[in-house]
Amino acid sequence: MIDGCLRLIRRGQAVFVTPFTLAGAMAPVTMSGAVTLSIAEALSAIALFQYVKPGCSCVIGTFTSNVDMKSGAPAFGTPEYMRATQITGQMARFYDLPMRASGVCTANVPDGQSIWETSNSLWSAIQSGTNVVYHAAGWLEGGLIASPEKFIMDCEMLQMVQRYMEPEVWDASPDSIAIDAIREVGSTGHFFGIQHTQDRYESAFYQPFISDWRNFEAWEAAGGIWTPQRANQLFKDIIARFEAPPMAEDRLEALT
């Protein structure tokens, strides 16, 4: 791996240095100790690369988590994983290095566990000031498989996170605080029909493509389809509608 990185930096390519340290197995059982080992390993490689090619582009990565002490298997998206990512983010800023994190989970199927673990991973990346997120969509079984359904579900979650980060959501301008609209409605009306709402309703809120926001009765009447089932159908629809982009015959022949 070091040889590959040296080849990259000599050709002006950036390298991502991401030690894989598991607390309780290949690193100390304490998260501070595991992160210390991870950062020491990363910095030793980065120092070597800077010695070989001063000023080369390097990114420090984190893949520090814990093992399941009942089975010895790696666990991802855990509270300890989140904290390790956040600690590494603080140290990356201290060293003035870009940082890489991941959107990972341990779950074996695209169920609730897979979503809360991936959500934990993604939010720890955001809170850490991460520059690049690997495995942001589709990851299952600790990275052993990629799931089309999980990919679709993760894309929904990523879009929600992106919307959360948009300045419009926390805009505090007089127009957004909407004192005039509140005064217009008063204590007996509603906001559905006023102009302030009519001017904004189409883009005011995030619109999901896989989440179902109907109440239980409406959801049940529509077939009671669970999220992974909807994701599976959407995946199949996308594949069925796919059209290969046009490509010149000579270029296609050269590639094949």
Strands 58-61 and 99-102: parallel
DSSP conformation letters of 104-170: ----SSSSHHHHHHHHHHHHHHHHTT-SEEES-SSEEGGGTEE-HHHHHHHHHHHHHHHHHHSGGGG
As given in the structure block, the two tokens for residue 28 are: 């100390």
**Domain total for the chain?**
1
Task: Categorize the per-residue pLDDT at 5 as very low, low, confident or very high, splitting at 50, 70 and 90.
Answer: very high
In a domain, 185, yes or no: no
CA–CA separation, 256 and 238 (whole Å): 25
Contact 124, 86 (CB under 8 A): yes
CA–CA separation, 22 and 35 (whole Å): 9
As given in the structure block, the two tokens for residue 54 are: 């001063």
CA–CA separation, 82 and 122 (whole Å): 9
Nearest to 54 by CA among 91, 8, 9, 99: 9
Residue 255 pLDDT more than 90? no
Predicted confidence (pLDDT) per residue in 17-26, tens digit: 999 999 999 9
CA–CA separation, 107 and 242 (whole Å): 29
More confident residue, 169 or 111: 111
In a domain, 14, yes or no: yes
Q: What is the mean pLDDT of the chain?
A: 95
Contact 105, 114 (CB under 8 A): yes
In a domain, 2, yes or no: yes
Predicted confidence (pLDDT) per residue in 190-218, tens digit: 999 999 999 999 999 999 999 999 999 99
Which ranges constitute the DSSP H helices of the chain? 2-10, 31-52, 79-94, 112-127, 148-165, 174-177, 179-185, 195-198, 216-221, 227-241, 249-255
In a domain, 203, yes or no: no
In a domain, 19, yes or no: yes
SS3 86: helix
Contact 23, 33 (CB under 8 A): yes
For residue 197, the model assigns a pLDDT of 95
- Residue ranges making up the domain that contains 92: 1-165
In a domain, 48, yes or no: yes
In a domain, 54, yes or no: yes
For residue 137, the model assigns a pLDDT of 96
For residue 244, the model assigns a pLDDT of 87
For residue 1, the model assigns a pLDDT of 83
In a domain, 246, yes or no: no
